[in-house]
Amino acid sequence: MAPPLLLLQDISLTLGGRPLLESAELSVSAGERLCLVGRNGSGKSTLLKIAAGLLEADGGTRFMQPDASVRYLPQEPDLSAFPTAFAYVEAGLGPLDDPYRARQLLNELGLSGDEEPARLSGGEARRAALARVMAPEPDILLLDEPTNHLDLPAIEWLEAELKGLRSALVIISHDRRFLQNLSRSTVWLDRGRTRTLARGFSEFEAWRDQELEEEERQQHKIDRKIVAEEHWLRYGVTARRKRNQKRLAGLNTMRSERRQRQAATGDVKLVATEGKVSGKLVIEAEAISKSFGERPIVQNFSMRLLRADRLGVIGANGAGKTTLINLLTGALSPDSGHVRLGANVELATLDQGRASLDPDTILKDALTGGGSDFVEINGERKHVIGYMKDFLFGPEQARTPIGRLSGGERGRLMLARALARPSNLLVLDEPTNDLDLETLDLLQEMLGDYKGTLLIVSHDRDFLDRVATSVLLAEGGGHWIEYAGGYSDMVAQRGSGVGTAPITAASSGAKPKAAPQPRAEKPAGKPRLSFKERHALETLPARMEGLREQMAKLKALLDDPEFYARDPSRFAQVSAAFAKAEAELLTAEEDWLALEIRREEIEG
């Protein structure tokens, strides 16, 4: 077996008087694909910085092969010392590296290289940082949250590019699908120590749960032994004092170990404050359009959102997702068409940019609004310290300015604020940013139990698959198409993912052609149907027939006059399913007609 390129052994580090890492280890061999997982604050980024040689541990050893090269992607890249994005990327190249590769990566990521760093958005800075670490094709790539601030086309492009690299990868990410697609082994950092699973992330969570269950069983045995020893101490005989003193010392040792044992980090307690039940119809948009200058964001768009629907909104950065949400919720007026909100709609919003957080506001006031020590959750008053604990904030953080919180802590704070407001329509704009995997699990469970309606803007494919009942995709040029199911269902129906078009085209707002349009004139040259068009012509009739059968079954249920009185919740679900099937059938029929017209033009 070849020796590792990078080896960390028995790493320990104490920050702020608290042991962060204790006997942590990491081994990276040539070509390895490894993900590093753990709760927010467990020390993953710190361990990665030690691996990169940017931070010195208090104890332990770091070994790296003398001829091995390593590149590290930080969570927050700093480009301020460079005049242009290309200068920043070029500074990461070695003497033998190809500057053309750096320029090529920048272009593929939608940047020219001439951008001024001060004018770059978070996503653009992240793309420049990715080009900087990937261009040299190092032996080891250490990537800390590489998908942060990236849109779906960029994430899918990055996946494909990393798969083709010879570099060993160590990845920290909250994006489950990204980890599943790239990792072959998993290192779990828990309470300062590391445990290794020689399989990818897709098998990690089941293994982690088994490990925790076994740990709990072992701890239960120790606790029972302590109880037995305490019983002996109170009621046992006092003869043979030397042996008794030894047994007493053993009991004191067990007690001390139990006191000092660092328990697993608690779970966030997510409960949404639900408002009154809304009407069956929540949002109805009819032929709405919105443009900024010459650029169309929404064109002639119509849809109906019913109670308990979970709609995911996806697309490239700059496609207009937030603008569309503002149009649907009435925060922005359309240029034409109209939007109608249903009866009793109570809206709560999680802001994508966390813009409503004043960095000087203390944590307690951010949750209560100031002037009070209580928040109201589902009609009951709760002390703010108790509510803070539900989101893993300690009492000592009550007066901490928001500007001093980490990204994960700010994400939890925004969730706490949004979920405290009574609502039956919850708008979540990038809710997964900076949240660890365990908190994401709890958020998904909470949203599953939420009885209201959800509008979700997200680039997290796994999150959309778990939560959304339909997704609305920006196809470009102001056109939006709704697909039933989650992200994977959309890919199956569309025949491709969001990232199939070049990122530069997606960034500029050019419309990828998801469905062919009828043409008035024959194009120059010899036209022909593409493989995708031929496949659609062959499969659309069966899909339309399937939708008609589905609608017939749903209509039979809805025709029952006692259905609503017997089960109102189920009636709403069936009504929503019927409306979606009807919309899908209409779209499929229009696509098939457009393809038939095109086929006849080519053949005739």
CATH code: domain of residue 338: 3.40.50.300
Residue-level pLDDT at 113: 93
My answer on whether 101 and 166 are in the same domain is: yes
Last residue of a domain, one of 159, 184, 206: 206
**pLDDT (tens digit per residue) in 457-471:** 999 999 999 889 999
Residue 253 within any structural domain of the chain: no
pLDDT of 245 reads: 59
Same domain, 110 and 172: yes
Q: What is the pLDDT of residue 444?
A: 84
Supply the DSSP symbol for 280: S
Q: Are residues 444 and 582 in the same domain?
A: no
Does 246 map to a domain? no
CA angle, residues 142, 148, 149, in degrees to nearest 5: 140
pLDDT of 16 > 80? The answer is no
Alpha-carbon distance of 555 to 541, in angstroms, equals: 21
Instruction: Tell me what the mean pLDDT of segment 484-509 comes to.
Output: 67
Query: Between 583 and 131, whose confidence is greater?
Result: 131
**What is the three-class DSSP state of 49?**
helix
Residue ranges at the known binding site for ATP: 38-45, 315-322
Average per-residue pLDDT for the chain: 83
Q: CA–CA separation, 191 vs 292, rounded Å?
A: 50
Arithmetic mean of pLDDT, 576-602:
80
Q: Judge if 448 and 576 occupy the same domain.
A: no
Residue 270 pLDDT grade (very low, low, confident, very high; cuts 50, 70, 90): low
Which residues make up each annotated binding site? 38-45, 315-322
Range of the domain at 588: 531-603
Same domain, 504 and 537: no
Q: Is the pLDDT of residue 529 over 70?
A: no
Residue 13 lies in a domain: yes
Q: Residues 48, 12: one domain? A: yes
Asked, for residue 376, whether it belongs to a domain, the answer is no
| Highest-confidence segment of 106-110, 274-278, 496-500 | 106-110
pLDDT recorded at residue 333:
94
In angstroms, rounded to a whole number, what is the distance separating the alpha carbons of residues 124 and 122? 6
Task: Tally the domains of the chain.
Answer: 3
Q: Which of 512-526, 564-578, 589-603 has the highest mean pLDDT?
A: 564-578
What is the C-alpha to C-alpha distance for residues 40 and 407, in angstroms, rounded to an integer? 9
At 175, which amino acid appears?
D
Asked if residue 162 has pLDDT above 60, the reply is yes
Rounded Cα–Cα distance for residues 173 and 36 (Å): 8
Residue type at 130?
A: L
Q: Convert the pLDDT of each residue in 544-555 to its tens digit.
A: 888 888 888 888
Domain membership flag for residue 597: yes
For residue 25, what pLDDT band results from cuts at 50, 70 and 90?
very high
Residue ending a domain, choose from 206, 239, 257 = 206
Tokens 């589902």 correspond to what residue? 378
Largest distance between two CA atoms of the chain? 109
Does residue 291 share a domain with residue 195?
Answer: no
Please tell me the least confidently modeled range out of 313-327, 356-370, 588-602: 588-602
Same structural domain for residues 438 and 543? no
Helix (H) or strand (E) holding 576: helix 568-603
Residue 228 falls inside a structural domain = no
β-pair partners for 313? 457, 472
The secondary element (H helix, E strand) that includes residue 538 is: helix 531-558
- Domain containing 558 — which CATH number? 1.10.287.380
> In this predicted model, which residue has the larger pLDDT, 455 or 248?
455
Q: How confident is the model at residue 430 (pLDDT cuts 50, 70, 90)?
A: confident
What is the Cα–Cα distance from 344 to 414, expressed in whole angstroms? 24
pLDDT at 510 over 60: no
Residue 335 has pLDDT above 90, yes or no: yes
Q: Is the domain of 49 the same as that of 166?
A: yes
What's the Cα-to-Cα distance from 537 to each of 179, 491, 586, 595, 599, rounded to whole Å?
A: 36, 18, 15, 7, 9
pLDDT value at residue 39: 85
- 547 or 528: which leads in pLDDT: 547
State how far the Cα of 6 lies from the Cα of 29, in Å rounded to an integer: 7
Residues 190 and 291 in one domain: no
pLDDT at 87 over 80: yes
Do residues 114 and 174 share a domain? yes
Q: Which of 508, 540, 556 is the last residue of a domain?
A: 508
Pairing of strands 168-172, 59-64: unpaired
Looking at the structure, tell me whether residues 568 and 469 fall in a common domain.
no
pLDDT at residue 494 is higher than 50: yes
Q: Does the residue 91 lie in any domain?
A: yes
Helix 407-420 and helix 437-449: axis angle, to 10°?
10
pLDDT band at 521 (very low <50, low <70, confident <90, very high): very low
Query: Using one digit for the tens of pLDDT, what is the confidence trace for 255-264?
Result: 555 545 444 4
Residue 39 Cα distances to 310, 405, 437, angstroms: 27, 16, 7
Is residue 248 in a domain? no
Spell out the alpha helix ranges (H) of 379-498.
Answer: 384-390, 407-420, 437-449, 461-467, 487-494
